[in-house]
Amino acid sequence: MSKKNRKEKPKVISLFAGAGGMDLGFIKAGFEIIWANDFDADSVKTYSKNIGDHIILGDITKPSIQKSIPKIKPDVVIGGFPCQGFSIANLGRSEKDERNFLYKQMIKVIKKTQPKYFVAENVKGILSLGKGKVIELIVKDFRKIGYNVNYKLINAANYGIPQMRERVFIIGNRIKKDNLFPLPTHRDHHPINGKKKKQPDLFEKDKKADLKNWVSTESVIFDLKDVPISYDPIKKGNKTIYNHMADTNVHDEFWGRKFPVNQFHICDYLKKWRKKSGISVKKIDQIFGYRHTAGHWFRKDNNSGSIPNPSDWKRLKKIIKFDDKYDKQVTTLVKKKIKFEQSLRIQNWDRPSDTITATSPEIHPNLQRRMSVRECATIQTFPEDFIFEGSTFRSMIKQIGNAVPVNLAELIAKKIIKEL
């Protein structure tokens, strides 16, 4: 940044801002957010409480919202355009999903406001959608409006975030600069078979970099382990802990299948019988009243196939009339003890956590409850005094899971501010 303008903070417009994870990172790096927008009321309440009242509630596709964008030319436009259509977790994803084209609203704002830079964030699934054609289309569309564009898949754990979170960042500029992504600051030092992992070849400029070990879940939320769950703020010494609420509906036992079942074999088996019956997946979804769930029974893309529960299995059998081959394995249930080491729902304790998602939090490593709102927020590197607003517990979790980790956004913002 030039000496002339170094006292004036560079300006940012934020689209699809959510609770403000990316915005907060840019603020920490020295930017000023002059306008933000999101269509979720609870997210806007959270943002307003913690960051500022410059956020507008509403649908960015509506002319009334677009007209409220300031005429001041921003230096950067940022946004994590909605990812439901792109996510691998959304098994009904399609390149025709209308949510996949909300990035065009971001292009529209960028074309109108002409920022020097833009930063967009999305899920890893965007890279494989349409066999790579979707990301190519998005990059092409950004380039059409005059931007040099690059994208990179970034794992937050490699940047000091206590979380295994892979997201795609797309950066573009129109000032003829290289788009520089931050270099990794951390790596996995855990031994494999008693030997240290070989340091990955991640360093374009500094292959001798001595990277720190990944940040563990334990190191950031250990102090909350003995704090009682409460919807009200809790005093601990000279600190106030906010949003330390959690789902305690976790049991030592669960009903599981008595016999081992090969998920892929079941998918192939059901697919064969469905084709033989001539009944479409869509029709079966309609019969069961599911939106997509029944469709998962007949495919195994992205390891995504699922097995019907016993009651659905019996009902499905009457519809597509398959034989008795797998009846015993699928429908015989017994009570089982929850084994933390087996459950994908359990957070890693001595390593970065699994991805914090917008749905139900995972079970705490050593407590009979799920991760609290505050613990999830801490793993996403939100400050201790950042207070989430929401009509429900689920709403707060959704806000956190959809956010960009604050400290990762800050690292990206610091790269950009040096180039302005």
Catalytic residues: 83
* Tokens representing residue 20 in the block: 């403000």
CA distance 256 to 338: 10
Q: What is the chain's length?
A: 420
CA distance 47 to 59: 16
Number of Cβ within 10 Å of residue 383's Cβ equals: 12
Taking a C-beta distance cutoff of 8 angstroms, is the pair 11, 393 a contact? no
Distance spanning both ends of the chain, measured CA to CA = 5
> DSSP alpha helices (H): ranges in 81-152?
103-113, 133-144
* Tokens representing residue 344 in the block: 């994908």
**Distances 15 to 39, 119, 156, 302, 403 between C-alpha atoms, Å:** 10, 10, 21, 30, 13
DSSP secondary structure letter of residue 170: E
* Tokens representing residue 108 in the block: 């529209």
CA distance 355 to 166: 8
The rounded radius of gyration (Å) of the Cα atoms in the chain is: 24
CA distance 46 to 365: 28
CA distance 51 to 69: 18
CA distance 375 to 48: 22
CA distance 372 to 326: 39
Closest CA to 69 of 56, 85, 82: 56
